[in-house]
Structure 1
Amino acid sequence: MLTMTRASLASPIPLYLQIADALRDRIARGVWQQGQLIPTLEQIAGEFDVARVTARQAVQLLMTEGALTPQRGRGTFVSAAAPSIKPVQVVTNLQELAEMYRSTTPELLTVDENSRVPAVGASLGTLAPAYTHMKRVHSTDGALYCVISLYLDERIFSTSPERFRTQTVIPLLMDLKPCPIAKAHQTLTIGSADAETARLLRVPADSPIARVERVFNDRDGLVIYYADVVYRGDVVRVEMDLGGTSLRKK
Protein backbone atom coordinates (compact mmCIF):
# COMPACT_ATOMS: atom_id res chain seq x y z
CA MET A 1 0.00 0.00 0.00
CA LEU A 2 1.33 3.45 -0.95
CA THR A 3 0.77 5.81 1.96
CA MET A 4 1.11 9.57 1.83
CA THR A 5 4.53 10.66 3.12
CA ARG A 6 5.03 13.11 5.96
CA ALA A 7 6.12 15.70 3.41
CA SER A 8 2.86 15.17 1.54
CA LEU A 9 0.81 15.51 4.70
CA ALA A 10 2.64 18.72 5.65
CA SER A 11 2.33 20.18 2.15
CA PRO A 12 0.03 23.19 1.68
CA ILE A 13 -1.43 21.37 -1.36
CA PRO A 14 -4.64 19.50 -0.37
CA LEU A 15 -4.38 15.71 -0.34
CA TYR A 16 -6.94 15.24 -3.11
CA LEU A 17 -4.87 17.47 -5.43
CA GLN A 18 -1.73 15.46 -4.64
CA ILE A 19 -3.59 12.23 -5.43
CA ALA A 20 -5.03 13.77 -8.61
CA ASP A 21 -1.46 14.66 -9.64
CA ALA A 22 -0.35 11.07 -9.09
CA LEU A 23 -3.28 9.68 -11.09
CA ARG A 24 -2.75 12.24 -13.85
CA ASP A 25 0.89 11.19 -14.02
CA ARG A 26 -0.15 7.56 -14.59
CA ILE A 27 -2.21 8.65 -17.59
CA ALA A 28 0.62 10.84 -18.91
CA ARG A 29 3.14 7.98 -18.66
CA GLY A 30 0.74 5.49 -20.24
CA VAL A 31 0.41 3.35 -17.11
CA TRP A 32 -3.32 3.94 -17.48
CA GLN A 33 -4.14 3.99 -21.17
CA GLN A 34 -7.11 5.41 -23.07
CA GLY A 35 -10.20 3.25 -22.64
CA GLN A 36 -8.80 1.44 -19.59
CA LEU A 37 -10.91 0.87 -16.47
CA ILE A 38 -9.26 2.47 -13.44
CA PRO A 39 -9.39 1.10 -9.86
CA THR A 40 -12.44 1.76 -7.71
CA LEU A 41 -12.59 4.64 -5.23
CA GLU A 42 -12.12 2.14 -2.42
CA GLN A 43 -8.97 0.77 -4.06
CA ILE A 44 -7.56 4.26 -4.66
CA ALA A 45 -8.35 5.30 -1.10
CA GLY A 46 -6.65 2.16 0.19
CA GLU A 47 -3.58 2.65 -2.00
CA PHE A 48 -2.98 6.19 -0.76
CA ASP A 49 -4.26 5.52 2.77
CA VAL A 50 -6.86 8.30 2.65
CA ALA A 51 -10.61 8.56 3.15
CA ARG A 52 -12.91 7.53 0.30
CA VAL A 53 -14.20 11.10 0.01
CA THR A 54 -10.63 12.31 -0.67
CA ALA A 55 -10.18 9.72 -3.42
CA ARG A 56 -13.53 10.74 -4.91
CA GLN A 57 -12.48 14.41 -4.99
CA ALA A 58 -9.30 13.47 -6.88
CA VAL A 59 -11.16 11.34 -9.43
CA GLN A 60 -13.87 13.98 -9.89
CA LEU A 61 -11.19 16.57 -10.65
CA LEU A 62 -9.82 14.41 -13.46
CA MET A 63 -13.37 13.92 -14.71
CA THR A 64 -13.79 17.69 -14.83
CA GLU A 65 -10.55 17.95 -16.83
CA GLY A 66 -11.86 15.35 -19.27
CA ALA A 67 -9.19 12.77 -18.45
CA LEU A 68 -11.66 10.29 -16.92
CA THR A 69 -15.25 9.35 -17.81
CA PRO A 70 -17.71 7.44 -15.57
CA GLN A 71 -19.91 4.79 -17.17
CA ARG A 72 -22.99 3.74 -15.22
CA GLY A 73 -22.72 0.21 -13.95
CA ARG A 74 -19.24 -0.28 -15.41
CA GLY A 75 -16.89 2.06 -13.54
CA THR A 76 -14.59 4.92 -14.51
CA PHE A 77 -12.49 4.83 -17.66
CA VAL A 78 -9.55 6.80 -19.05
CA SER A 79 -11.06 9.03 -21.72
CA ALA A 80 -8.04 11.08 -22.79
CA ALA A 81 -4.94 9.72 -24.44
CA ALA A 82 -1.65 10.41 -22.74
CA PRO A 83 -0.33 13.82 -23.80
CA SER A 84 2.71 13.69 -26.02
CA ILE A 85 5.50 15.93 -24.75
CA LYS A 86 8.43 16.51 -27.06
CA PRO A 87 11.75 15.90 -25.31
CA VAL A 88 13.85 18.94 -24.46
CA GLN A 89 17.40 18.51 -25.68
CA VAL A 90 20.06 19.90 -23.35
CA VAL A 91 22.33 21.89 -25.67
CA THR A 92 25.86 23.07 -25.03
CA ASN A 93 26.20 26.32 -26.93
CA LEU A 94 24.30 29.60 -27.13
CA GLN A 95 23.44 29.41 -30.82
CA GLU A 96 21.87 25.97 -30.43
CA LEU A 97 19.94 27.21 -27.39
CA ALA A 98 18.47 30.11 -29.35
CA GLU A 99 17.57 27.83 -32.25
CA MET A 100 15.92 25.37 -29.90
CA TYR A 101 13.60 28.10 -28.60
CA ARG A 102 12.89 29.30 -32.13
CA SER A 103 12.01 25.83 -33.37
CA THR A 104 9.90 24.70 -30.41
CA THR A 105 8.00 28.02 -30.08
CA PRO A 106 6.74 27.30 -26.55
CA GLU A 107 3.41 28.65 -25.37
CA LEU A 108 4.06 31.16 -22.59
CA LEU A 109 2.02 31.77 -19.46
CA THR A 110 3.40 34.57 -17.28
CA VAL A 111 2.42 33.91 -13.68
CA ASP A 112 4.28 36.89 -12.21
CA GLU A 113 6.05 40.06 -13.36
CA ASN A 114 7.75 42.58 -11.09
CA SER A 115 10.97 44.43 -10.36
CA ARG A 116 13.33 42.20 -8.43
CA VAL A 117 17.06 41.61 -8.25
CA PRO A 118 18.36 38.06 -8.69
CA ALA A 119 20.10 36.47 -5.72
CA VAL A 120 23.39 35.64 -7.43
CA GLY A 121 26.91 35.53 -6.11
CA ALA A 122 29.64 37.96 -7.12
CA SER A 123 31.40 35.18 -9.00
CA LEU A 124 28.67 35.33 -11.67
CA GLY A 125 29.26 39.00 -12.43
CA THR A 126 28.18 42.50 -11.48
CA LEU A 127 24.48 43.18 -11.05
CA ALA A 128 22.69 45.76 -13.19
CA PRO A 129 20.94 48.71 -11.47
CA ALA A 130 17.47 47.16 -12.03
CA TYR A 131 15.85 44.08 -13.52
CA THR A 132 12.46 43.01 -14.81
CA HIS A 133 11.58 39.66 -13.30
CA MET A 134 9.17 37.32 -15.09
CA LYS A 135 8.04 33.91 -13.91
CA ARG A 136 6.66 31.81 -16.75
CA VAL A 137 5.36 28.37 -17.50
CA HIS A 138 6.29 26.93 -20.90
CA SER A 139 4.11 24.40 -22.69
CA THR A 140 3.88 22.83 -26.11
CA ASP A 141 0.64 21.50 -27.58
CA GLY A 142 -0.95 22.21 -24.20
CA ALA A 143 1.54 20.01 -22.29
CA LEU A 144 3.43 21.85 -19.54
CA TYR A 145 7.13 21.10 -19.45
CA CYS A 146 9.06 23.84 -17.61
CA VAL A 147 8.88 26.74 -15.18
CA ILE A 148 11.31 29.60 -15.74
CA SER A 149 12.09 32.45 -13.38
CA LEU A 150 14.10 34.99 -15.40
CA TYR A 151 15.66 38.36 -14.73
CA LEU A 152 16.41 40.74 -17.60
CA ASP A 153 18.37 43.99 -17.35
CA GLU A 154 15.67 46.67 -17.18
CA ARG A 155 17.46 48.81 -19.76
CA ILE A 156 17.27 45.97 -22.30
CA PHE A 157 13.69 45.09 -21.37
CA SER A 158 12.55 48.70 -21.84
CA THR A 159 13.71 48.70 -25.49
CA SER A 160 10.88 46.34 -26.45
CA PRO A 161 8.74 45.41 -23.42
CA GLU A 162 5.85 43.89 -25.35
CA ARG A 163 8.07 41.55 -27.34
CA PHE A 164 9.98 40.46 -24.24
CA ARG A 165 6.65 39.80 -22.51
CA THR A 166 5.16 37.70 -25.29
CA GLN A 167 8.17 35.92 -26.83
CA THR A 168 11.05 33.78 -25.60
CA VAL A 169 13.83 36.09 -24.45
CA ILE A 170 16.98 34.36 -25.69
CA PRO A 171 16.24 34.59 -29.44
CA LEU A 172 15.33 38.27 -28.95
CA LEU A 173 18.66 38.93 -27.22
CA MET A 174 20.51 37.13 -30.00
CA ASP A 175 18.78 39.29 -32.62
CA LEU A 176 19.80 42.60 -31.01
CA LYS A 177 22.42 44.60 -32.90
CA PRO A 178 24.98 44.45 -31.51
CA CYS A 179 24.27 41.33 -29.50
CA PRO A 180 24.84 42.22 -25.82
CA ILE A 181 25.88 38.69 -24.79
CA ALA A 182 29.62 38.37 -24.39
CA LYS A 183 29.61 35.35 -22.08
CA ALA A 184 27.01 32.63 -21.47
CA HIS A 185 27.11 29.88 -18.88
CA GLN A 186 24.65 27.32 -17.58
CA THR A 187 24.70 24.64 -14.89
CA LEU A 188 22.44 21.56 -14.86
CA THR A 189 21.49 19.80 -11.64
CA ILE A 190 18.99 17.04 -10.85
CA GLY A 191 16.48 17.31 -8.02
CA SER A 192 12.83 16.94 -7.08
CA ALA A 193 9.88 19.29 -7.53
CA ASP A 194 8.82 21.46 -4.61
CA ALA A 195 5.13 22.10 -3.94
CA GLU A 196 4.91 25.27 -6.06
CA THR A 197 6.74 23.80 -9.05
CA ALA A 198 4.65 20.63 -8.87
CA ARG A 199 1.49 22.74 -8.86
CA LEU A 200 2.56 24.78 -11.90
CA LEU A 201 3.70 21.75 -13.90
CA ARG A 202 0.80 19.58 -12.68
CA VAL A 203 3.04 16.76 -11.58
CA PRO A 204 3.18 14.96 -8.23
CA ALA A 205 5.19 16.66 -5.48
CA ASP A 206 8.78 15.37 -5.30
CA SER A 207 8.71 14.33 -8.98
CA PRO A 208 12.18 14.34 -10.60
CA ILE A 209 13.16 17.62 -12.23
CA ALA A 210 16.18 19.04 -14.03
CA ARG A 211 17.19 22.54 -12.89
CA VAL A 212 19.24 24.79 -15.15
CA GLU A 213 20.89 27.99 -13.87
CA ARG A 214 21.64 30.21 -16.86
CA VAL A 215 23.69 33.43 -16.80
CA PHE A 216 24.52 35.87 -19.61
CA ASN A 217 27.09 38.64 -19.13
CA ASP A 218 27.96 41.62 -21.30
CA ARG A 219 31.52 42.57 -22.22
CA ASP A 220 31.94 44.41 -18.89
CA GLY A 221 30.90 41.38 -16.85
CA LEU A 222 27.43 42.76 -16.08
CA VAL A 223 24.71 40.15 -15.55
CA ILE A 224 22.17 41.12 -18.21
CA TYR A 225 20.15 37.90 -18.02
CA TYR A 226 19.73 35.36 -15.26
CA ALA A 227 17.31 32.43 -15.29
CA ASP A 228 16.41 29.55 -13.05
CA VAL A 229 14.72 26.97 -15.30
CA VAL A 230 13.01 23.86 -13.94
CA TYR A 231 12.13 21.11 -16.43
CA ARG A 232 9.97 18.07 -15.85
CA GLY A 233 12.38 15.19 -15.45
CA ASP A 234 10.58 13.05 -18.01
CA VAL A 235 11.10 15.53 -20.88
CA VAL A 236 14.83 16.20 -20.55
CA ARG A 237 17.20 14.42 -22.91
CA VAL A 238 20.97 14.66 -22.70
CA GLU A 239 23.04 13.38 -25.58
CA MET A 240 26.83 13.41 -25.61
CA ASP A 241 29.16 12.33 -28.37
CA LEU A 242 31.91 10.52 -26.49
CA GLY A 243 33.89 9.78 -29.62
CA GLY A 244 35.63 6.44 -29.86
CA THR A 245 38.87 4.64 -30.32
CA SER A 246 40.05 2.87 -33.42
CA LEU A 247 41.52 -0.59 -32.98
CA ARG A 248 44.68 -1.16 -34.89
CA LYS A 249 45.74 -4.60 -35.99
CA LYS A 250 49.30 -5.43 -35.19
Structure 2
Amino acid sequence: MSRVSLSSPVPLYLQIADSLRDRIARGVWQQGEVIPTLEQIAAEFDVARVTARQAVQLLMSEGALTPQRGRGTFVSATPPIMKPVQVVTTLQALAEMYQATSQQPLTVEESRRKPPVTAADGELAEEYIYMKRVHSSDGLPYCVISLYLDDKIFSMSPDRFRNELVIPILVSLSPQRIAKARQTLTIGSADAETARLLRVPTDAPIARVQRVFNDPDNVVIYYADVVYRGDAVKVEMDLGSVSS
Protein backbone atom coordinates (compact mmCIF):
# COMPACT_ATOMS: atom_id res chain seq x y z
CA MET A 1 0.00 0.00 0.00
CA SER A 2 1.29 3.47 -0.91
CA ARG A 3 1.44 5.94 1.95
CA VAL A 4 0.39 9.52 2.54
CA SER A 5 1.38 11.61 5.52
CA LEU A 6 -1.51 12.50 7.83
CA SER A 7 0.72 14.94 9.73
CA SER A 8 1.82 16.83 6.61
CA PRO A 9 0.40 20.32 5.98
CA VAL A 10 -0.02 19.30 2.33
CA PRO A 11 -3.62 18.05 1.73
CA LEU A 12 -4.01 14.33 1.10
CA TYR A 13 -5.31 14.77 -2.43
CA LEU A 14 -2.24 16.85 -3.36
CA GLN A 15 0.07 14.18 -1.94
CA ILE A 16 -1.74 11.55 -4.02
CA ALA A 17 -1.67 13.78 -7.11
CA ASP A 18 2.10 14.16 -6.65
CA SER A 19 2.51 10.38 -6.54
CA LEU A 20 0.33 9.85 -9.62
CA ARG A 21 2.11 12.64 -11.49
CA ASP A 22 5.44 11.03 -10.64
CA ARG A 23 4.29 7.72 -12.12
CA ILE A 24 3.48 9.46 -15.38
CA ALA A 25 6.81 11.30 -15.35
CA ARG A 26 8.75 8.07 -14.79
CA GLY A 27 6.80 6.19 -17.45
CA VAL A 28 5.15 3.78 -15.03
CA TRP A 29 1.89 4.99 -16.56
CA GLN A 30 2.48 5.71 -20.22
CA GLN A 31 0.60 7.90 -22.68
CA GLY A 32 -2.60 6.21 -23.86
CA GLU A 33 -2.70 3.81 -20.91
CA VAL A 34 -5.78 3.51 -18.68
CA ILE A 35 -5.09 4.21 -15.01
CA PRO A 36 -6.63 2.36 -12.03
CA THR A 37 -10.18 3.21 -10.97
CA LEU A 38 -10.94 5.68 -8.21
CA GLU A 39 -11.80 2.77 -5.93
CA GLN A 40 -8.43 1.16 -6.59
CA ILE A 41 -6.54 4.41 -6.02
CA ALA A 42 -8.48 5.06 -2.81
CA ALA A 43 -7.68 1.56 -1.56
CA GLU A 44 -4.01 1.87 -2.48
CA PHE A 45 -3.56 5.10 -0.50
CA ASP A 46 -6.09 4.16 2.21
CA VAL A 47 -8.18 7.30 1.68
CA ALA A 48 -11.81 8.06 0.88
CA ARG A 49 -12.98 7.80 -2.73
CA VAL A 50 -13.68 11.55 -2.80
CA THR A 51 -10.02 12.24 -1.97
CA ALA A 52 -8.86 10.00 -4.80
CA ARG A 53 -11.28 11.78 -7.14
CA GLN A 54 -9.87 15.19 -6.17
CA ALA A 55 -6.35 13.98 -7.02
CA VAL A 56 -7.40 12.59 -10.39
CA GLN A 57 -9.42 15.71 -11.23
CA LEU A 58 -6.37 17.86 -10.51
CA LEU A 59 -4.33 15.90 -13.06
CA MET A 60 -7.21 16.19 -15.51
CA SER A 61 -7.15 19.97 -15.09
CA GLU A 62 -3.41 19.91 -15.83
CA GLY A 63 -4.04 17.96 -19.02
CA ALA A 64 -2.18 14.85 -17.86
CA LEU A 65 -5.30 12.66 -17.69
CA THR A 66 -8.44 12.44 -19.84
CA PRO A 67 -11.67 10.57 -18.96
CA GLN A 68 -13.42 8.54 -21.65
CA ARG A 69 -17.03 7.64 -20.95
CA GLY A 70 -17.47 3.93 -20.41
CA ARG A 71 -13.75 3.21 -20.84
CA GLY A 72 -11.97 4.82 -17.88
CA THR A 73 -9.37 7.52 -17.42
CA PHE A 74 -6.34 7.61 -19.69
CA VAL A 75 -2.90 9.19 -19.60
CA SER A 76 -3.23 11.90 -22.20
CA ALA A 77 0.07 13.75 -22.09
CA THR A 78 3.69 12.85 -21.84
CA PRO A 79 5.19 15.02 -19.12
CA PRO A 80 7.76 17.58 -20.21
CA ILE A 81 11.37 16.47 -19.87
CA MET A 82 13.31 18.26 -17.17
CA LYS A 83 16.53 19.72 -18.56
CA PRO A 84 19.37 18.73 -16.22
CA VAL A 85 21.31 21.41 -14.35
CA GLN A 86 25.05 20.81 -14.58
CA VAL A 87 26.78 20.96 -11.20
CA VAL A 88 29.80 23.18 -11.89
CA THR A 89 32.85 23.67 -9.69
CA THR A 90 33.98 27.27 -10.31
CA LEU A 91 32.32 30.61 -9.66
CA GLN A 92 32.90 31.76 -13.24
CA ALA A 93 31.30 28.61 -14.65
CA LEU A 94 28.36 29.04 -12.26
CA ALA A 95 27.78 32.63 -13.41
CA GLU A 96 28.09 31.63 -17.06
CA MET A 97 25.66 28.76 -16.59
CA TYR A 98 23.03 31.11 -15.15
CA GLN A 99 23.61 33.70 -17.88
CA ALA A 100 23.23 31.10 -20.63
CA THR A 101 19.88 29.72 -19.48
CA SER A 102 16.39 31.20 -19.60
CA GLN A 103 15.21 30.86 -16.02
CA GLN A 104 12.25 32.45 -14.31
CA PRO A 105 12.88 33.26 -10.61
CA LEU A 106 9.75 33.62 -8.49
CA THR A 107 10.23 35.16 -5.05
CA VAL A 108 7.86 33.58 -2.54
CA GLU A 109 9.23 35.39 0.51
CA GLU A 110 11.43 38.41 1.27
CA SER A 111 12.54 39.73 4.64
CA ARG A 112 15.58 40.74 6.67
CA ARG A 113 17.24 37.98 8.66
CA LYS A 114 20.64 36.50 9.43
CA PRO A 115 21.95 33.46 7.53
CA PRO A 116 22.47 30.22 9.50
CA VAL A 117 26.25 30.31 9.15
CA THR A 118 28.84 28.85 11.49
CA ALA A 119 32.15 30.36 12.59
CA ALA A 120 33.86 28.23 9.94
CA ASP A 121 31.81 29.97 7.23
CA GLY A 122 33.08 33.45 8.10
CA GLU A 123 31.99 36.65 9.81
CA LEU A 124 28.47 38.06 9.60
CA ALA A 125 27.68 41.32 7.83
CA GLU A 126 25.60 43.93 9.65
CA GLU A 127 22.38 43.10 7.80
CA TYR A 128 21.11 40.75 5.11
CA ILE A 129 18.24 40.61 2.66
CA TYR A 130 16.64 37.17 2.65
CA MET A 131 14.76 35.86 -0.38
CA LYS A 132 13.16 32.48 -0.88
CA ARG A 133 12.72 31.83 -4.58
CA VAL A 134 11.64 29.13 -6.99
CA HIS A 135 13.67 28.87 -10.19
CA SER A 136 11.95 27.47 -13.28
CA SER A 137 13.03 26.62 -16.78
CA ASP A 138 10.43 26.36 -19.57
CA GLY A 139 7.73 26.69 -16.91
CA LEU A 140 8.98 23.76 -14.82
CA PRO A 141 10.30 24.42 -11.29
CA TYR A 142 13.67 22.79 -10.76
CA CYS A 143 15.03 24.34 -7.56
CA VAL A 144 14.05 26.21 -4.41
CA ILE A 145 16.68 28.62 -3.14
CA SER A 146 16.87 30.37 0.22
CA LEU A 147 19.47 33.10 -0.18
CA TYR A 148 20.94 35.78 2.04
CA LEU A 149 22.66 38.77 0.45
CA ASP A 150 24.67 41.44 2.25
CA ASP A 151 22.36 44.47 2.40
CA LYS A 152 25.17 46.80 1.28
CA ILE A 153 25.48 44.84 -1.96
CA PHE A 154 21.72 44.46 -2.36
CA SER A 155 21.31 48.26 -2.09
CA MET A 156 23.58 48.70 -5.13
CA SER A 157 20.82 47.42 -7.42
CA PRO A 158 17.73 46.29 -5.49
CA ASP A 159 15.41 46.11 -8.51
CA ARG A 160 17.79 43.86 -10.44
CA PHE A 161 18.44 41.63 -7.44
CA ARG A 162 14.68 41.27 -6.92
CA ASN A 163 13.86 40.43 -10.51
CA GLU A 164 16.90 38.68 -11.94
CA LEU A 165 19.21 35.81 -11.01
CA VAL A 166 21.46 36.96 -8.19
CA ILE A 167 24.85 35.37 -8.93
CA PRO A 168 25.44 36.93 -12.39
CA ILE A 169 24.54 40.36 -10.97
CA LEU A 170 26.77 39.84 -7.94
CA VAL A 171 29.71 38.83 -10.13
CA SER A 172 29.23 41.77 -12.52
CA LEU A 173 28.62 44.45 -9.88
CA SER A 174 31.15 43.50 -7.26
CA PRO A 175 33.65 40.90 -8.49
CA GLN A 176 36.45 42.28 -6.30
CA ARG A 177 34.39 41.58 -3.17
CA ILE A 178 34.28 37.82 -3.79
CA ALA A 179 37.57 36.61 -2.34
CA LYS A 180 36.37 33.09 -1.61
CA ALA A 181 33.47 31.01 -2.96
CA ARG A 182 32.65 27.42 -2.08
CA GLN A 183 29.75 25.02 -2.26
CA THR A 184 28.82 21.69 -0.70
CA LEU A 185 26.53 19.09 -2.31
CA THR A 186 24.50 16.57 -0.31
CA ILE A 187 21.69 14.19 -1.21
CA GLY A 188 18.40 14.02 0.69
CA SER A 189 14.62 13.89 0.35
CA ALA A 190 12.02 16.62 -0.14
CA ASP A 191 9.96 17.85 2.79
CA ALA A 192 6.30 18.71 2.27
CA GLU A 193 6.84 22.42 1.50
CA THR A 194 9.73 21.84 -0.89
CA ALA A 195 7.81 19.04 -2.60
CA ARG A 196 4.87 21.39 -3.14
CA LEU A 197 7.05 24.11 -4.66
CA LEU A 198 8.97 21.69 -6.90
CA ARG A 199 5.85 19.67 -7.83
CA VAL A 200 7.37 16.37 -6.71
CA PRO A 201 6.12 13.77 -4.21
CA THR A 202 6.98 14.26 -0.55
CA ASP A 203 10.25 12.40 0.23
CA ALA A 204 11.26 12.47 -3.45
CA PRO A 205 15.07 12.57 -3.90
CA ILE A 206 16.65 16.01 -3.94
CA ALA A 207 20.15 17.45 -4.17
CA ARG A 208 20.97 20.18 -1.65
CA VAL A 209 23.74 22.68 -2.42
CA GLN A 210 25.05 25.12 0.17
CA ARG A 211 26.93 28.10 -1.29
CA VAL A 212 28.98 30.62 0.68
CA PHE A 213 30.77 33.66 -0.77
CA ASN A 214 33.18 35.71 1.38
CA ASP A 215 34.76 39.12 0.86
CA PRO A 216 38.49 39.84 1.48
CA ASP A 217 37.72 40.41 5.19
CA ASN A 218 36.10 36.93 5.39
CA VAL A 219 32.63 38.45 5.77
CA VAL A 220 29.84 36.29 4.34
CA ILE A 221 28.32 38.43 1.59
CA TYR A 222 26.20 35.68 0.03
CA TYR A 223 24.80 32.50 1.53
CA ALA A 224 22.39 30.17 -0.24
CA ASP A 225 20.71 26.88 0.50
CA VAL A 226 19.60 25.48 -2.87
CA VAL A 227 17.36 22.42 -3.19
CA TYR A 228 17.21 20.83 -6.64
CA ARG A 229 14.79 18.22 -7.90
CA GLY A 230 16.61 14.91 -8.12
CA ASP A 231 15.80 14.58 -11.82
CA ALA A 232 17.16 18.07 -12.55
CA VAL A 233 20.75 17.47 -11.46
CA LYS A 234 23.60 16.22 -13.60
CA VAL A 235 27.05 15.61 -12.14
CA GLU A 236 29.80 14.95 -14.65
CA MET A 237 33.46 14.42 -13.79
CA ASP A 238 36.42 13.74 -16.03
CA LEU A 239 38.29 10.87 -14.41
CA GLY A 240 41.06 10.89 -17.01
CA SER A 241 42.56 7.82 -18.62
CA VAL A 242 43.90 4.62 -17.14
CA SER A 243 47.66 4.34 -17.46
CA SER A 244 49.08 0.95 -18.33
* TM-score of Structure 1 vs Structure 2, range by shorter chain: over 0.9
Correspondence for 2:208: 211
- The answer on 1:134 being equivalent to 2:134 is no
SS in 1 for 2:146: strand
Say how many residue pairs are matched: 244
In structure 1, distance between residues paired with 2:175 and 2:2? 57
SS in 1 for 2:161: helix
In structure 2, distance between residues paired with 1:108 and 1:47? 37
- The answer on 1:239 being equivalent to 2:236 is yes
* Same amino acid, percent of matched pairs: 74
SS in 2 for 1:127: coil
Deviations 1:22-41 (A, max 9, x none): 01111222222222221111
- The answer on 1:163 being equivalent to 2:169 is no
Deviations 1:44-66 (A, max 9, x none): 11222222111111101111222
Q: TM-score, length-normalised on structure 2? A: 0.96
SS in 1 for 2:22: helix
Q: Which amino acid aligns with 1:4?
A: R
1:100-139 alignment to 2 at 5 Å?
A: 100-139=97-136
Cα displacement (A) at 1:177: 4.9
In structure 2, distance between residues paired with 1:72 and 1:107? 39
In structure 2, distance between residues paired with 1:106 and 1:33? 29
Correspondence for 1:220: 217
1:27-176 alignment to 2 at 5 Å?
A: 27-176=24-173
Correspondence for 1:4: 3
The answer on whether the counterparts of 1:30 and 1:82 sit within 8 Å (CA) in structure 2 is no
Unaligned regions of 5+ residues in structure 1, if any? none
Q: Which amino acid aligns with 2:38?
A: L
In structure 2, distance between residues paired with 1:98 and 1:50? 47
In structure 2, distance between residues paired with 1:236 and 1:184? 20
In structure 2, distance between residues paired with 1:178 and 1:70? 56
In structure 1, distance between residues paired with 2:107 and 2:24? 27
Unaligned regions of 5+ residues in structure 2, if any? none
Q: TM-score, length-normalised on structure 1? A: 0.94
In structure 2, distance between residues paired with 1:101 and 1:193? 24
The answer on whether the counterparts of 1:84 and 1:143 sit within 8 Å (CA) in structure 2 is no
The partner residue of 2:179 within 175, 178, 182 is: 182
Deviations 1:174-226 (A, max 9, x none): 11255321100100011111111011111111111100000000111010000
SS in 2 for 1:179: helix
